[in-house]
Amino acid sequence: MLAYEAALERILAHVPAPKAARVPLQEALGCVLARTVVAGADLPGFNNSAVDGYALCVMPYNDLTHHSLRLIGKAEAGKPFRGLVRSGQVVRIFTGAQLPVGANAVVMQERVRVSPSGVLLSESPEIGQHIRRRGEDISAGKTVLKPGTILRAQEIGLLAALGQSHAAVWGRPRVAVLTTGNELRPAGRSLTAGQIYDSNSAMLAALVQETGGLVRTSQTCPDSLSRLVRTLRSMLSSAKTDVILLAGGVSVGDKDLCREAFAKCGIRQIFWRVNIKPGMPFFFGKKGRTLIFGLPGNPVSSYVTFREFAAPALAKLQGRAWQDPYSRPASLLKDLHVSKSRETHFVRVTSQGSNGTLHVAALDGQGSHHLRSLVEAQGWMRLRSSEGPWATGARVLVRTDGDLQPTHGDSQ
Ligand code: AMP
Ligand code: MG
């Protein structure tokens, strides 16, 4: 049986090169830039006012304090003043409005007194004050974003400010989800004896979204070879399917027909079964460019094998580097025994922090059907059974996925 590390390595080695895509900014969050972005324009694009006030022409060494200046017009954001401002004149101006020709300073409205005879300044302005100069932020031709940048709201805002409606990124993988089992019913329907709700299709769709993929189709099949083959063939026939995520029926029971169905569809098995708990009967295969992940049907097994094996592949398909998430040092709060029957164990933990140290304890209910601890887990440990036993105080590495919130301040 393949070791966890070898399985992950083989999967990553089979991930094809990412595909470039041009996506609207509204869909670009979390995508990885495929190309350098060069500013096509200056930012700001024109000299404009940083405040609400008055634009005027200041001459060097000319103290304008207590001078009464003549108001000749108004400049609003999006509605410039078309005339020329000469010495002794002012134009009412608002934040973001283009600076009128001839003006070289703006006085804040709080610093003037307006009377019927004109605008009186309480202090003499300096040339250039309260003006946002064209190109002061970014000048045209400058590289603003490099390939490999993960687009956050900030980068998306910058692209839009430069007038770009789309971003050149590595495309989101298109995923087909297939859950299998005679016992499955869609949530929202009534159940008869022995039936259960198909929770994996909803969970896997959410995991795909979380990982940046797009669920293109989601289907459920009974344990029927012909139905499985038909559904898989239709998923494979779409040239756009990058990944098929199948859950259930990959083990050794009489109704576990998926591997036979894979073979009938010409899917090449790269490996089947990994020395892990939960998730041992995991299958990985390939047909053309399409990657096929066969996840065991128990919900926790589906969750773990998606996260440990499919998620890194989806990340790589989007041009993201994969980093081992088990990186946070912690100390065990309770003795822990893990069985030697499997090499690598994924264990759900709760956490406590004190004096800057993270302490973790395995949750009760580590079965592959236990959903409560899946929800309650604040982190996960990945343990090799050969390195145990783990006594209280042992050092471990945990993955937290950002959702670990240790409670600080407990006494010690
Ligand atoms: P299997 O991998 O098909 O042997 O299924 C293992 C266990 O997971 C069984 O108890 C199934 O009823 C359960 N299971 C399989 N598919 C799903 C699903 N889509 N949602 C919830 N439980 C499932
Ligand atoms: Mg089954």
pLDDT tens per residue, range 61-93: 778 777 889 999 999 999 999 999 999 999 999
Give, for ligand 1, the residue of 196, 204, 254, 259 to mutate: max count of ligand atoms closer than 8 Å to Cβ.
196
**How much is the pTM?**
0.89
Name beta bridge partners: 167.
23
Query: Tokens 């006594």 appear where?
Result: 391
Tell whether the model's pLDDT for residue 406 goes beyond 60: no
Q: State the average pLDDT over residues 343-352.
A: 94
CA nearest ligand 1 atom 10, residue? 298
Q: State the average pLDDT over residues 196-215.
A: 97
CA of 220, closest atom in ligand 1: 19
The full set of domains in the chain, from first to last, is 4-19+172-317 (3.40.980.10), 20-43+151-170 (no CATH), 48-132 (2.170.190.11), 326-399 (2.40.340.10)
pLDDT tens per residue, range 221-246: 999 999 999 999 999 998 789 999 99
Q: State the average pLDDT over residues 320-326.
A: 92
Q: State the average pLDDT over residues 114-121.
A: 92
pLDDT tens per residue, range 274-312: 999 999 999 999 999 999 999 999 999 999 999 999 999
Question: What's the one-letter identity of residue 241?
Answer: T
What pLDDT does residue 240 have? 87
Residues 152, 173: Cα–Cα separation, whole Å: 19
What pLDDT does residue 270 have? 98
What distance in angstroms lies between residue 108's CA and the mean position of ligand 1's atoms? 68
What distance in angstroms lies between residue 97's CA and the mean position of ligand 1's atoms? 62
Lowest mean pLDDT among 191-200, 337-346, 400-409: 400-409
CA of 253, closest atom in ligand 1: 4
What distance in angstroms lies between residue 181's CA and the mean position of ligand 1's atoms? 7
Q: Before 278, cis peptide (omega within 30)?
A: yes
Q: State the average pLDDT over residues 34-47.
A: 97
What distance in angstroms lies between residue 250's CA and the mean position of ligand 2's atoms? 8
Query: Tokens 């190309």 appear where?
Result: 35
- Pocket lined around ligand 1, Cβ cut-off 6 Å: 179, 181, 183-184, 196, 198-200, 247-249, 251, 253, 256, 296-299
Give, for ligand 1, the residue of 200, 201, 369 to mutate: max count of ligand atoms closer than 8 Å to Cβ.
200
What distance in angstroms lies between residue 256's CA and the mean position of ligand 2's atoms? 6
Q: Terminus-to-terminus CA distance in the chain, angstroms?
A: 44
Averaged confidence pLDDT in the chain: 94
What pLDDT does residue 402 have? 55
For the chain, give the number of residues: 412
What pLDDT does residue 401 have? 67
Please report which confidence band the pLDDT of residue 124 belongs to, taking 50, 70 and 90 as the band edges: confident
CA nearest ligand 1 atom 7, residue? 298
What pLDDT does residue 95 have? 98
What pLDDT does residue 151 have? 97
CA nearest ligand 1 atom 17, residue? 297
Q: State the average pLDDT over residues 379-393.
A: 93
Give, for ligand 1, the residue of 183, 185, 298 to mutate: max count of ligand atoms closer than 8 Å to Cβ.
298
What pLDDT does residue 67 have? 81
What pLDDT does residue 412 have? 37
